Amino acid sequence: MVDIVKNRYPLLDLIQTAFVLTDIHGKILYHNRYTEHLLGYTRQELEGRKVRELFFPEDLKFFLPNMIYLTIDKTGFEGDGLLRQKDGKGIFVHLFTSSFKEGGETFLTFSLQEIQRLKRLEREKLEMRHRATLGMMVEEMAHQVRNPIASIGGYARRLIKLSDSSSRRELYLNRILYETSRLEEMIRQMEELVKIPRPIFQREKVLEIVEQTLQSISEEEKTTDISFNLEEGSFKGDEFFYIDRDLVSRALSHLLKNSIESIRQCREKKGPKEIKVSVAGDEKSVEISISDRGEGIPKKNLDRIFEPFFSTRPERVGLGLPFVKRVMEDHGGAIRVDSRLRRGTTTTLIFPKDRRRPIRGEWVSSEARDHLSFL
């Protein structure tokens, strides 16, 4: 089997993924050229050595035996890990493992991709998407700006023709001020969206971010007619996640302002006006949900709410939700919107947690201990 693989090494050497083949005991039988690039070993230096030598000591107790157990006894392993290069430095990789039998022997395969490279490719993909979106925004902005400018020009020309005592002068001045203010807000939101910086991730307390944003919005929007109800669930004050504090706070602010406006638009509803903010999570993610019983979104519009400048309200610019979506993409998270017309809307932000996977600190099965002999 090994001879077959080696005879085909020119093909394996062409792929931009490191590939390592071992026997059932973890002895390295073959690795391709990209492995040399990734880890710094030549083919002669690595073949014949144990695969355990590619891992740091702290990962030999649980991580590697668990991985081998999943590879041999289950369907394989996929996840991130820190490997040791020839010079002793660490490199984060995404691992894929599998096993197969040939001629009565069991073989293991390890496929490695450098995480930084994956992130770079993902970032390039996002940037291409953002450039395409920017082109659409520029085209739409030309249309959006044209209407206020035409209105301002029209009212200004009428003012010139009116006498100082005309009762229509105040009406025209108010329209000019309104359209000017709308243009200023449009430009501000455009700059906010286009100039989103790359996130600087810091360890932040979940509830602290939410509470501070609620307080800021309450003061800014003067929400004396609307109350905020924060539901913490089983969350504790010291629960945390890794985010860019400023960007997430701004994203939450956009969603809260949408809910406030939606409630105020829905005038026929009686009773207390309330926005419910709930925080939930598990070992893998944190969810922040904002719910209102406002006007809601028609079903036909749900697929368009993240399009720049899309809004069913003439006074709105339509750049808030595109901003939120961009922030969530940059955080590796997701956004979910559930809405019914005249029933209200719930928007949920889903953030991944940065925590060590259990596979690195505990046994995934009591049977995994049997693979300590692999080491």
Question: Does residue 203 share a domain with residue 84?
Answer: no
β-pair type (77-84, 90-102): antiparallel
Q: Which residue has the higher pLDDT, 160 or 221?
A: 221
Q: Is residue 52 part of a domain?
A: yes
CA atoms of 293 and 273, how far apart (whole Å)? 8
- Mark whether 105 and 203 lie in a shared domain: no
Q: Are residues 205 and 111 in the same domain?
A: no
Which of 60, 89, 117 is the last residue in one of the domains?
A: 117
What's the total number of domains in the chain? Answer: 2
Confidence grade of residue 289 (pLDDT, cut at 50, 70, 90) = very high
Residue 306 lies in a domain: yes
Same domain, 229 and 327: yes
2: pLDDT strictly greater than 60: no
Question: Angle at Cα 354 formed by Cα 349 and Cα 355, nearest 5°?
Answer: 130
* Domain-embedded: residue 66: yes
Q: What is the pTM of this model?
A: 0.54
Q: Does residue 139 belong to any structural domain of this protein?
A: no
Domain-located, residue 151: no
- Co-location of 230 and 334 in the same domain: yes
In a domain, 327, yes or no: yes
Residues 220 and 90 both lie in one domain: no
List the structure tokens of 122: 């993902």
Q: Are residues 62 and 209 in the same domain?
A: no
Q: Do residues 62 and 207 both lie within one domain?
A: no
**DSSP string covering 202-217:** EEEEHHHHHHHHHHHH
Average pLDDT, stretch 16-39? 90
Whole-number pLDDT of residue 151: 76
pLDDT of 131-169, one tens digit each? 666 656 665 665 666 677 777 777 777 776 766 656 677
Least confident of 81-85, 116-120, 227-231, 323-327: 116-120
- CATH number, domain at 10? 3.30.450.20
Instruction: Look at residues 117, 148, 179 and tell me which one is the last residue of a structural domain.
Output: 117
Task: Confirm whether 31 is domain-assigned.
Answer: yes
The model's confidence at residue 356, banded by pLDDT at 50, 70 and 90, is: very low
In-domain check, residue 305: yes
Task: Give me the percent of the chain exceeding a pLDDT of 90.
Answer: 30
Question: Do 100 and 222 lie in a common domain?
Answer: no
Neighbours of 291 (CB within 10 A): 19
CA gap 71, 238 in Å, rounded: 37
Residue 131: its pLDDT value, please? 60
98 and 223 share a domain?
Answer: no
The whole-number pLDDT of residue 70 equals 93
Pick the more confident residue, 315 or 274.
274
Nearest 10 degrees: Cα torsion 263, 264, 268, 269: 40
Q: What angle is formed at CA 337 by the lines to CA 334 and CA 340, rounded to 5 degrees?
A: 170
* Residue scoring higher pLDDT (373 or 355): 373
CATH of the domain at 324: 3.30.565.10
- 341 in the same domain as 209: yes
> What does the mean pLDDT of the chain come to?
81
285: domain range? 199-358
pLDDT digits (tens, 9 = 90+) for 334-343: 999 999 988 8
